[in-house]
Structure 1
Amino acid sequence: MTFYDDIYPFYPLQRTSFIFSGALLTIILVFLVLLTSLLLILPGIRGKARYLWMVRIIISLYIGAVIVALNFTNDWAEGWTTTNATYKSFSNAVVDAEIGLHVGLYGINVTLRGNPVMQLNETIDYNEMFSWQDSLEEEYQEALERGLPNPILYIAEKFTLNSACGLIFQYRYSGRYASATLWTAFCCWLVANILLSMPVLLYAGYMMLATAAFIFFSMASFSTIMNLPKCAFSIGAGTFVTEYSHSFWLALATGVLCAVIGMAVVLFDCLIPEKMKQAFSIAVESEEEEDAYSETGYLNSVFLEEVPVSVITLANV
């Protein structure tokens, strides 16, 4: 086997790791556009209510963006190791590389980065995505045909249907339930924002608590895989297992934030309802105005006078 332009003849050009996920970039841009549009309204709001509106908008959009983004992140759990491993099939070449596994709700990312990146006259920098929405078998077969490095194929094989570890069943079903509960949390977040603009702040607080509850349910669903016997990944002299990662802890922080906001809204609405309505720019009618509205009438004065006796007599006749 010979080299041609520093590339093995039977392998295509290596794919380097992505800078940023396209789905996450779209979500961030959408919420940034919403944030910019809503902030343009602030100059038209007078007094201290302007700053309260700004805080409300930023916190609310942050919660919504995180809930949606958590469905598409690939680091709910991860594990990595640095080791010497064989690089390609039918070759004794060994590379020193960092190998990582990143697990999301819809699939896994397997990374392989050389240390240094340039080894064997190649750029060793891979980031391969394997999705289990339908089946991971087809993507694994394509990886074999493309001739991906052995460490990537080894990890991907652990998630196939024929693997003794059964990781595909554990992560696929737990990811589905976690994603479903996150979308339910997003719906609760939408309803809570609608209710915050109405004189029913108590129910808005309840919906924020429901948002926090469904976020915690998603974490509990994903955590079920951690209670099962862990499958160790042994590559060369290195071994690793998956642990909770950034997205899991971000979900926890967002759920706690929603719970605190929901409890605060419920508590303050019970203790100081008038001030809460003023803080959320909801029209409040004073008791004097309510009494004036209830007492004011437009009855004809004729009906308030006594009816003459002669009229009653004629009516009886």
Structure 2
Amino acid sequence: MTFYDGIYPFYPKQITPFIFSLDLLTCILVFLVLATTFIIVLPGIRGRARLFWMFRMILSLFIGVVIVAVNFTSDWAAANLKANTTYKSFSSEFVSAEVGLHVGLSGINVTLKGDPLEQLNETIDYNEVFRWTDVLDSDYTEALERGLPNPILYIAEKFTVNSPCGLYFQYRYSGLYASATMWTAFCCWLVANILFSLPVILYAGYMMVATGTFIFFSLASFATIHNIPACTFTIGTVSVQIQFSTSFWLSLATGVLCFLIGAVVVILDSLMPEKMREAFSMDADDLEEDFYLGEGYMNATFVDEVITPPPVTIVEMQGKDVRL
């Protein structure tokens, strides 16, 4: 029902984005399809190499999906608190709510959930995203026009370009460098997987070490914001304290895992190269278990002629020009 020209007599319900972005869900879906494909072809691998191949593929896909997915998550740093705060502008009414701030490499995510959910004849459940773009102030202006609750607008204002807190520049540029080095780590991971399928296991180990190193560089880039004096701001009477969150610690664990895998491969390949080639070769176990070369038979006369050629007689030598 509309008055005219598409103008509604009532404000439509605002649809807020889910905590997982579409890019993140797409990334996870792609890697799940790859994992399913490898599991389907698993019965075609014979011998003891089957279990080792499955473990190696699952572990490699886990590292790859973490490196890519953390570029789209919004929980590198987070702050959660419960407070009694004003709900709308030009109103003195307070609500009890849980306020969440989630910082990612590409923007921030602000949540507001009532405690209880129904207050002031409304359902208080918001989840708003503000991207690290040159038009972040435009997103903030749009949020003002939509009339979002005061806690969301207050936190979003702290991350605008003209805010005296300077959080926009701190988190945007640290996230930009962190994302760039994380994509570099992804490239190293791709090269390492290619080298693992070739008889150059040592260099594959080097690339895994490089993958872990670039992940550490990404974490160091994002962590530099904590070396700057924090901008303190409060909601109600509770101060907002931003701490490292899930994606940061998951990236740290993945970096340590890559570094350990690379170091172990380099050390073992230096100590026992033949064993390492046998372990990473898909045909080693097949030749050992599934194939058997039985006894062969050859004409004995042919063998004698090849091994012991007939002697040259003196009559034959007289007709030839023999030079000593």
TM-score by shorter chain over 0.5: yes
- Residue deviations 1:217-269 (CA, integer Å, cap 9, x gap): 00000001011111122111121220000000000000000011001110111
SS at 2:234 equivalent? strand
TM-score normalised to structure 1 length? 0.85
Opposite residue 219 of structure 2, the aligned amino acid is M
1:184 maps to what in 2? 184
2:30 maps to what in 1? 30
Opposite residue 93 of structure 1, the aligned amino acid is E
SS at 1:41 equivalent? helix
Q: Distance in 1 between matches of 2:16 and 2:120?
A: 16
1:296 maps to what in 2? none
Shift of 1:44: 1.4
SS at 2:148 equivalent? coil
Q: Distance in 2 between matches of 1:17 and 1:122?
A: 19
Opposite residue 247 of structure 2, the aligned amino acid is S
1:251 maps to what in 2? 251
Q: Which has the larger radius of gyration?
A: 2
Q: Distance in 2 between matches of 1:18 and 1:105?
A: 17
Opposite residue 214 of structure 1, the aligned amino acid is F
Shift of 1:309: 7.1
Alignment of 1:39-78 (within 5 A): 39-78=39-78
Q: Distance in 2 between matches of 1:236 and 1:203?
A: 56
1:212 maps to what in 2? 212
SS at 2:161 equivalent? coil
Kept in 2: contact 1:15–1:127 (CA 8 A): no
- Residue deviations 1:82-141 (CA, integer Å, cap 9, x gap): 111111111122110011110000100001000001111111000100001223100000
What's the RMSD between the two structures over aligned residues?
Answer: 2.1
Q: Distance in 2 between matches of 1:81 and 1:15?
A: 24
Opposite residue 236 of structure 2, the aligned amino acid is G
SS at 1:255 equivalent? helix
Q: Distance in 2 between matches of 1:172 and 1:165?
A: 13
2:303 maps to what in 1? none
Opposite residue 146 of structure 2, the aligned amino acid is R
Q: Distance in 1 between matches of 2:15 and 2:115?
A: 17
Kept in 1: contact 2:17–2:129 (CA 8 A): no
2:271 maps to what in 1? 271
1:109 maps to what in 2? 109
1:241 maps to what in 2? 241
Runs of at least 5 residues in structure 2 that lack an aligned partner in the other structure: 1-8, 288-308, 310-316
Report the identity percentage. Answer: 67
Shift of 1:19: 5.7
Opposite residue 125 of structure 2, the aligned amino acid is D
Alignment of 1:33-182 (within 5 A): 33-182=33-182
Shift of 1:310: 4.6
TM-score normalised to structure 2 length? 0.83
The count of corresponding residues between Structure 1 and Structure 2 is 284
Shift of 1:38: 1.4
Opposite residue 178 of structure 1, the aligned amino acid is A
SS at 1:40 equivalent? helix
- Residue deviations 1:249-306 (CA, integer Å, cap 9, x gap): 0000000000110011101111111111111115679xxxxxxxxxxxxxxx9xxxx9
Opposite residue 216 of structure 2, the aligned amino acid is F
Shift of 1:46: 1.4
Q: Distance in 1 between matches of 2:100 and 2:37?
A: 40
2:299 maps to what in 1? none
Kept in 1: contact 2:81–2:100 (CA 8 A): yes
